Amino acid sequence: MRLPRDVSGQDLAQALATLGYQLTRQTGSHLRLTTVEAGQHHVTIPRHDPLRVGTLASILQDVAQHFGWTRQQVQERIFRK
């Protein structure tokens, strides 16, 4: 599955909510999300529109490592339509 090119930081934050991530704080143009699913994990997302592909890939890879999944599995779970 190819990474979407039109995802904003706000869209990604909402998509990660399906995995248990919640907004814990916002500093300037960055969102900090935290989950306690499978242990505590934090991820920081810039509120850019759209996110750069490399930034999106890096965030998804970080989430995948936390859950013990592949980046592809994370993409399928949060971007399925």
Q: What is the pLDDT of residues 40-68, one digit of tens each?
A: 999 999 999 999 999 999 999 999 999 99
81 band by pLDDT with thresholds 50, 70 and 90 = low
- For residue 52 the two structure tokens come to 């750069």
Which pTM value belongs to this model? 0.92
From the number of C-beta atoms within 10 Å of its C-beta (0-12, 13-18, 19+), residue 62 rates as: middle
Domains along the sequence of the chain with CATH:
9-79 (3.30.920.30)
What's the start-to-end Cα distance of the chain, in Å? 13
Percent of the chain with pLDDT over 70: 99
Question: pLDDT of 1-24, one tens digit each?
Answer: 789 999 999 999 999 999 999 999
